[in-house]
Amino acid sequence: MAQAIPIRKNSPLKASCHECSLSNLCLPLAVEENDLERLEDIVQQGRIFNRGEHIFDQSTPFRSCFAVKSGSIKTSIITEGGEEQVTGFFMPGELVGLDSMSGETYACTAKALERTSVCEFPIEKLEELTGKMPELQHHMYHLMSQEIQNSHQLAMLLSKNTAEERIAALLLSLSSRFQRRRLSPTNFSLPMARNDIANFLGLAVETVSRVFTRFQNQGLIRARGREVELLDVEALQTVTREFSRQGCQ
């Protein structure tokens, strides 16, 4: 079943983790240079999806986690009634599918927001490997824990914060994720539509639109379509913290 290792390693189509520019963000982050090829042996690299295509589908058998290599991914849950709830956005270097590691099927649907390439980690092989590599296991725990925290953070945003606070928080989150990749933290292009933002943040599209223009009028951002420029990061941070400040009497 397993392909001969030399073939995979030498295949020009299979770019290696060694050469990947995201190796300081992705799973290789937790792996010694020497052990990197053990990770390379299980990863299936280079799958490419066009905008709108599904990487995986809720209720199909869970097989793999996916690392975003380029592009971006939206995950969402479809309820019985056909309503969509966006649960997350994933950018290069981030791992998708961690919420599916219980149960037989994927817990959500993952859709490419633009032309996107991913690396696939078959879950059985990944579990086998983490069993042998304590640092990689540790890193998996770390990532999953992080995702729990992110989700709690989102729940908090949804239950306690105003529309402005939610949107400021999202912009700043994206900003810092661009920064991690050594891209401009103040000048970027939103990978998702207003609709997705609204759904993710529990708002109506109209509200998202209004807040964008309000921020623009206040000189906090400049936005045309999906192109965004953060003009006053500090002010945005103040917006997100305003809520908790008020709580402090």
Partner DNA sequence: GTACGAGGTTGATATGGATCAATTTGGACG
Partner DNA sequence: CGTCCAAATTGATCCATATCAACCTCGTAC
Per rule CB under 7 A, is residue 225 in the interface with DNA?
yes
Count CB neighbours of 209 within 10 A. Answer: 14
Per rule CB under 8 A, is residue 3 in the interface with its own copies?
no
Contacting range for its own copies; rule: CB under 8 A; set: 35-43, 157-165, 188-196, 220-228: 157-165
Here the tokens at position 61 are 């058998």
Residues 6+ apart with CB under 8 A from 37: 9, 16, 18
From the list its own copies, DNA, none, pick the one residue 12 interacts with, judged by a Cβ distance below 5 to 8 Å according to partner type: none
User: How far is Cα 198 from Cα 206, in angstroms, rounded to an integer?
Assistant: 8
From the list DNA, its own copies, none, pick the one residue 229 interacts with, judged by a Cβ distance below 5 to 8 Å according to partner type: none
User: How far is Cα 248 from Cα 220, in angstroms, rounded to an integer?
Assistant: 25
Quick one: which of 189, 226, 229, 244 contacts DNA (CB under 7 A)?
226
Per rule CB under 8 A, is residue 152 in the interface with its own copies?
yes
Per rule CB under 7 A, is residue 207 in the interface with DNA?
yes
Per rule CB under 8 A, is residue 81 in the interface with its own copies?
yes
User: How far is Cα 48 from Cα 38, in angstroms, rounded to an integer?
Assistant: 23
User: How far is Cα 88 from Cα 100, in angstroms, rounded to an integer?
Assistant: 13
CB of 227 to DNA, least distance (A): 9
* DSSP 8-state secondary structure symbol assigned to residue 140: H
Which stretches of the chain bind DNA, using CB under 7 A? 162-164, 193-195, 202-210, 212-213, 223-226
